[in-house]
Amino acid sequence: MAQVTTLPSRAVVVNHRNTNYHYHNGVYYRPVSRGGSVVSAPSFGLRVTTLPPNPYRVAFAGHIYYYLYGTYYRPMDDGQYEVVQPPL
């Protein structure tokens, strides 16, 4: 995992299961106990209000998903996007 000491200036905080992820352009940063943050895959169930730029649109079994950087997003009724497991 790549560790960073400075987060992108436009990163937004997304709290999920008591962890404050920082999210910017489809990349997630998770704090680590020794200080700083690491680039991390988001947990399933995490929700964001905007998709990263230029995600791939994937149709599977009558549902639409968006995909970028190893992460699948499912649009929710409230306008958010939930991180989900890859569709099978």
pLDDT tens column, 7-34: 999 999 999 998 899 999 999 999 888 7
Whether residue 55 sits in one domain with residue 35: no
Strands (DSSP E) contained in the chain are 3-4, 12-16, 19-24, 27-31, 37-39, 47-48, 56-60, 63-68, 71-75, 81-84
Mean pLDDT of 47-69: 95
pTM, two decimal places: 0.87
The residue behind tokens 């998903």 is: 65
- Say whether pLDDT at 58 is over 80: yes
Whether residue 52 sits in one domain with residue 25: no
Q: Say how many domains are in the chain.
A: 2
- Say whether pLDDT at 1 is over 80: no
Whether residue 75 sits in one domain with residue 58: yes
Range of the domain at 72: 47-84
Whether residue 51 sits in one domain with residue 29: no
Whether residue 7 sits in one domain with residue 35: yes
Contact 38/32 with Cβ under 8 angstroms?
Answer: yes
Residues of the chain above pLDDT 70, percent: 99
